[in-house]
Structure 1
């Protein structure tokens, strides 16, 4: 579907993998996709990985290093990842952000992290808003006979394919295909739009805000740190 047909200049699909299943958990992977453009970043969490999350995602932490299925991952700091996410979104002229079950989970975790580093305003001015594809899919498929609206089941049922679920990059690439196959109208999308400010995030405000330099300067510093330490910052 042409993105313009939805009434928005662009659509970015995003997902987080975290240390647990509550809003106070930490982010270990952040991925986003728009067409063939992808962002995929990993972070060493600042709190312990819950056993259930380890089983579901395959992530683990040993000696302050992040592993995915026992393979060491190249990582960025959480702040570097958030600045990179904002910069990625700036490529698409205030895109609509879409994710599955994000209103009850991912957006709460994201809002708290953005607040912590004083980046929430910079983030919000660069996007049109959010849409949770879970209630949207429920609306679009209410008479289809589908009883489970988990993303991997929807992808299997509607697209006829399986993928590696609970890997953020695999999740967003699969969601992008599913979303455009469902072909939501502009009116249906707008019914499900929301902002971070509409959520009850109970975000913790940082005690001392970061420097007041421009977003570009934040990103440049993050890139220098990444280059000097040989870490991974994946833009494609």
Structure 2
């Protein structure tokens, strides 16, 4: 047996308990919660080949929301294909922040969505998302294109879809995304600003009604069609849907599990960055570390942290960090 295989088995024993070693003890293991409690395996990055540019349907999209944080609620969702446009205003579940109201002109008063004081024909979020999915179902091989969507729009969209139990249905209609922020940085390096409004003013020599999702979609569509050879850059900027989905799941794990490591961060046993790596990249919380330590002490933590993950290790090879975490768990 090769040394790497021994390490892999050791890591599995730490993660899955004694039940991994032998099938003989499985019935007995079911009686003991400790034996059936497992540490999740390392996340693996899914790889998908980029489709040919001429085989996809380009759909530009944009979202406006109640605020600038990733927990904000959608107030408008707009999209545009070559054949058709889509736009819905949405009744949010909480108030629009003053900053967002200033930017978008939208306010939420007495159960109504208003634009500069005028009542808008807004719908509930589930109705909006169902309508959006119906719009997407009209075309095949859809690639959603938006500006700075990886860090903002996709998070808001996936969060809303999940809350409405529509995420899987949506994912069946989309094969990938393109974020035009890195696209313009790639195709037009050296600009002072890559905000969409600045790009439009720079290249179109005029302004538009920014921060209305439908207007933003039209402006971005114009910019890309006139100033970008998308077929040239497509493979470099294409993001498979599974990558966005994996990032979304990692973000959820981060928010769920990071508080459990607060004491280790406060005592400077782990830096915030290392704690985020442990959670976001590995899906581990404090209880998982305790479980690994209870099974094999310091070696259990070492096996867990140095478990093979992709081309590297799951957390770290640092003996200092492994020792500090182990010493903390001894207390």
Aligning the two structures, in what range does the TM-score lie when normalised by the shorter sequence?
0.7 to 0.9
Distance 1:66 1:34 in 2: 26
Give the equivalent residue in structure 1 for 2:252: 202
How does the TM-score come out when normalised to structure 2? 0.57
Matched, 1:175 2:225: no
- 1:127 maps to 174
| Counterpart in the other structure of 1:96 | 143
What secondary structure is seen at the aligned counterpart in 2 of 1:202? helix
Match of 1:66 among 96, 102, 113: 113
State the structure with bigger RCO (CA 8 A, min sep 6), 1 or 2: 1
Distance 1:201 1:37, change over 3 A: farther
- How far off its partner does 1:189 sit? 2.0
Q: How many residues align?
A: 200
The 8 Å contact of residues 28 and 43 in structure 1, kept in 2 or not, is answered as yes
Cross-structure match for 1:208: none
Contact kept? 1:112, 1:201, Cα under 8 Å: no
1:163 to 187, 208, 215: 208
Separation (CA, whole Å) in 2 of partners of 1:192 and 1:15 = 18
After superposition, the C-alpha distances for 1:22-74 in whole angstroms (9 at most, x for unaligned) are: 11110000000113511110111001111100000000011010001111001
**TM-score scaled by structure 1?**
0.79
Q: What do the CA deviations read for 1:56-97 (whole angstroms, capped 9, x no partner)?
A: 000001101000111100111100100111110111212110
After superposition, residues 1-236 of structure 1 pair within 5 angstroms as: 6-142=53-189, 145-186=190-231, 188-194=233-239, 195=241, 196-199=244-247, 200-202=250-252
SS of the residue corresponding to residue 62 of structure 2 reads: strand
Query: Alignment partner of 2:218: what SS?
Result: helix
C-alpha distance in 2 between matches for 1:156 and 1:27: 26
For structure 1, which runs of at least 5 residues remain unmatched after alignment? 205-236
- Provide the C-alpha distance between the structure 2 equivalents of 1:185 and 1:177, rounded to a whole number of angstroms: 13
Aligned-partner Cα distance in 2 for 1:122–1:5: 24
- Bigger radius of gyration among the two: 2
Contact 1:44 1:75 (8 Å CA) reproduced: yes
Distance, in Å, in 2 between the alignment partners of 1:110 and 1:82 is: 9
Listed one character per residue, the Cα deviations across residues 122-156 of structure 1 (whole Å, up to 9, x for unaligned) are 111111201100011100001xx421000011111
SS at match of 1:28: strand
Deviates more, 1:84-93 or 1:102-111: 84-93
CA RMSD, 1 decimal: 2.0
> Larger helix proportion, structure 1 or 2?
2
The separation in 1 between residues aligned to 2:182 and 2:213, in whole angstroms, is 20
Aligned equivalents of 1:184 and 1:119: distance in 2?
34
Distance 1:123 1:201 in 2: 19
How far does the alpha carbon of each residue in 1:195-220 deviate from its partner, in whole angstroms, 9 at most, with x for none? 2313234189xxxxxxxxxxxxxxxx
| CA distance in 1 between partners of 2:252 and 2:232 (Å) | 30
